[in-house]
Every structure is written in structure tokens, then in C-alpha cells.
Amino acid sequence: MATHDTEIESRIEGVLRRMAMLYGWSSLTVEAYRHDLFDFQAFIGGASTVFEANAQHVTGYLTHLQQRGLANSSIQRQRSALATWFHYLQNEKIRHDFPLQDVAKVMTALRLPKHMSEADVEALLAAPDTSKSKGIRDKCLLELMYATGLRVSELAGLKVSAINRRQQTLRVVGKGNKEREVPYGEEADIWLSRWFEVRSEQSAYVFPSRGGHITRQTLWACVRKYAQQAGIYPLPSPHVLRHAFATHLLNHGADLRVVQALLGHENIITTEIYTHVSRRQLHDEVNRSHPMGKRKIKRGM
């Protein structure tokens, strides 16, 4: 890390210590603020620092968080962290303005996940050219992503030792360092076998790259490439396949608690958003297929 970055981080740490004493923060609260401020600093880079950032920097950062697929509640929390930070700097006369003054508040209203139909998923999974080793790898990636609903980071860092081929399960360490076991189906197992047969690099990771594992960016590029080939628009992100996994399970009668466990959600309220998607699809299907759904009411009746 550059010396300049180290100096900025030291300054942030110093201010956070003073804020913690003033507000009586716990160590966990300090860690949360540290994470958000460092993430904001990484985003603005050499353009500014968290001490001098303006409204344009904040708006760009919040937009960046939305593009990363973060929930509105998470973005609102990070916006609140920045607001607390800049209010403190203003009160301490470290700066004389409040850059969030003209930044619109992020709404916390329910935002339904983007949807992929089962037909779209089938078209996506069929897109890779499996006559080549890279196509086999990509096919395996997509099959596992849809079969398990893993987060992007979980799939990218998946280790060979985490796979139980006999039971067809994956051992995943998710958010909060919580471990869960996720089953996968026959089709994903077939493509895992084919990938292990052709991959040239022996690695602890299922999907190796330059001595480590593939990146989140590689997964994003993979999904978008084959979605474009399959004619799926708007182009989905890997998160949308996770959403499809959950929604399609619920559509076919899976228990909400089971889906919660498979996704690694700590709170079932987070999982319940997919029941809203299922209900919306049900209404759309009725309106599209039922005679009364299509019927136009004449004026004056």
C-alpha cells in the first residue's frame, strides 16, 4: 500500500478513536465505520480523501454501491456512516461544509430482485462452447452458480476440499464467518467432473487463476458474455442467478426456511423478499393467461 494511503488511514484511525470516546462506540461499531470509510477512500482513490470529499464523490460512491448489487438497506447504512463522519468533521471545524446536504437520501423501500425466468436460465446455461476447456470451465461455473445460489465471492473462492462428491454438497463459509452446507444436483456434478478432467493447473481452488482463484470480475464477465450470446436483456449479473435460484425453488414449493439456510441469510426477512417475487410472477401469469385478466372494462358499464 502506498505511503499516502497509509497516512490517510492513520488519520482516519485517529479521528475514529476520538469519535468512539465521544459517542461511546463499541469495538464492533468502530470496525464497521472503519470498513465503510476505507471502502469510500478506496473508491475515490487519488481524486480526494475522506476528509475533503465533496457531494459528487459521495453520489458517485452510492451509485457504485448500487451497481455492485448492494441492498438499499446496506447502501443507506453506509450513507449514514458518511453522514456521521462529515457531521463530526464539521462540528470539529475540520471542514466547514456538509457534503451530503445536496445528496438525495437512499430510499429504504423494498426493492425486488431482478428476475430471470427458467427459460432464460436454460438459455444461459446452454451458451458456453463446451468443445473447449474454457467453455467447460464457464459451463461448470454457471451450473454451480444456479445449482447452489452461492454468493459471487463464495463461488470464486471455492476450494476443492470443500466439495463432497459422494454426497454432492459444498461446504461454504459465508458472511460472518458462518459455515453452511449446500447440496448441488446431478447436472452440476457432471460438469464438475468434466472440469476437473481438463483443467491444467493443480490448485487448492476449484477455479484457479494465476496462483490464486478467479476474481469477482471474471464471474461478472462470464455471466454477461453468455447472457449476451443467449439474447438475454437487460444483461444480468451473477447476483441475478442467485436470485433465480431462490425464486425458482420457492416457485416449485420449497420451504422458506430451507431457502434461508441454503442462501446463508441470518434473518428470514431477507429471504422473504423472494416470496414477493413469486407473488408478483403469480399475478403476472394470471393477468396474462386468465380471460378476466385480459378483459377490458367498457366505459359506462
C-alpha span between 156 and 163 (Å, rounded): 14
Q: Three-state SS for 146?
A: helix
Which of 57, 242, 243, 248 is the catalytic position?
A: 242
Among all chains, which residue has been given the C-alpha cell 478506496?
Answer: 42
In DSSP terms, 169 is beta-bridged to 164, 183
Q: Is 175 a catalytic residue?
A: yes
Q: How far are the Cα atoms of 5, 6, 274 from residue 86, in angstroms, in the given order? A: 19, 21, 36
What size, in residues, is the chain? 301
Q: Is 96 a catalytic residue?
A: no
| Residue 36: all three cell numbers together | 465503510
Q: Is 95 a catalytic residue?
A: no
| Residue 140: all three cell numbers together | 461448470
Q: Is 194 a catalytic residue?
A: no
Which of 77, 194, 225, 239 is the catalytic position?
A: 239
| Residue 179: all three cell numbers together | 459455515
Which of 18, 111, 175, 276 is the catalytic position?
A: 175
Which of 151, 213, 243, 248 is the catalytic position?
A: 151
Going by DSSP bridges, is the β-strand pair 179-183/212-213 parallel, antiparallel, or unpaired? unpaired
Half-sphere CA count of 197, side-chain side, radius 13 A:
10
Which of 61, 184, 226, 274 is the catalytic position?
A: 274
Q: Give the list of residues 6+ apart from residue 66 with CB closer than 8 angstroms, or none.
A: 75
Residues annotated as catalytic (active site), given as ranges = 151, 175, 239, 242, 265, 274
